[in-house]
Structure 1
């Protein structure tokens, strides 16, 4: 693993911002340091060579940004969370004539597909639209394809059963060329699109926003900025869901929410 210092990372952040306009300064430094070291190791280059490489601009710096912002996910990650959404949240949303969901930081689509399955099994799919967004075009391309390894599917299937799925995960995909392909029926109500939580603005009003395991990569100041965006995007009495290691505490908007589940970080906007 190539090791770099914090001072070197700061120089890289400045140069990326100068070349591309993308600002990593609000990202958590330890996480960014690890991601940069992995990038250098993967591409067999040192920091000096990386600076020379990104001076090309265009595709070079774009590829760096894409790789440093890719996050890992899996279908029905934290099964207890999906069980709670199904029992506590969907009962409330059932009365709405139409529903808009936003999965922010959707990675390769795992959570969006999980939500689509949950909605289908709850009888809500036909009146629901899921917007799944990410900063990375690379992962969005993979999400639109909806193709996973069979090894991943085994893990996803275990999660699905623990999340109290009513059938079998195999009901929602078919196998082709030793890969699992998500069924078109499941993808029809999902819109995958590019969106930068740290720089882009409100683009719709939602009854449900999932932004799980994303805030952990941001500094407090940047988290507060993103929380304001999520708040402005959420309808009154809509639900905001965060990851297990995340919280609304110190967000600047916590007084506007009721806690539905403090352990799973599910909140409802009340003002």
Structure 2
């Protein structure tokens, strides 16, 4: 993902819903070197924003209800949350929450695609989302895991106007002429009870070292560090509370 700021239709934010906020804070600050700041407003319920230096990159929050899975969620930038919600419904998705105002920060929609993958949409006001991409500790790629690639492709291209950039090896999502994410087919590698989902990938300076550190801190490697054909070195990890996420080799500075 070559964006250096959120663009309409592209990913703009990633946030973790966790059942142990303090443990998650320790794990991710150790792994990524994040600086964390808790929103002091009572109505934000301990919402914690992660920074790389002085720039926002992600957030951690308590689960909204005990039945929610511990998981990362991905938000996509939209100009009009109400119009975007209508587009989701017309394309065959389901709006779960919203559109609703989040104080003066923005307007949010939570939705499911037709295959069951959850995602969010964000209409920015005071808060635009991540201020840094594709740099160590920051979001740089998002990947949809689904059991029906064709149906997902039809949905997202209609709902968001994305285009598809496909090779023999991989299908990628594109907006404003740039690839920002991809699709993986949920085959026998995925347990039957794992639902379709969006997976955020964070850039790191050393994939192998990051994977080793995650394991030392109680995480697990779902995909061991590996080189992607025509792509970077990656790993897919799971934090101690059970949330999967990806890491990839950040571009080398020239």
Tell me if TM exceeds 0.5.
no
Higher relative contact order (CA 8 A, sep 6+): 2
Q: TM-score, normalised by structure 2?
A: 0.26
Q: TM-score, normalised by structure 1?
A: 0.24
Higher Cα Rg: structure 1 or 2? 1
Greater strand share, 1 or 2?
A: 2
Greater helix share, 1 or 2?
A: 1
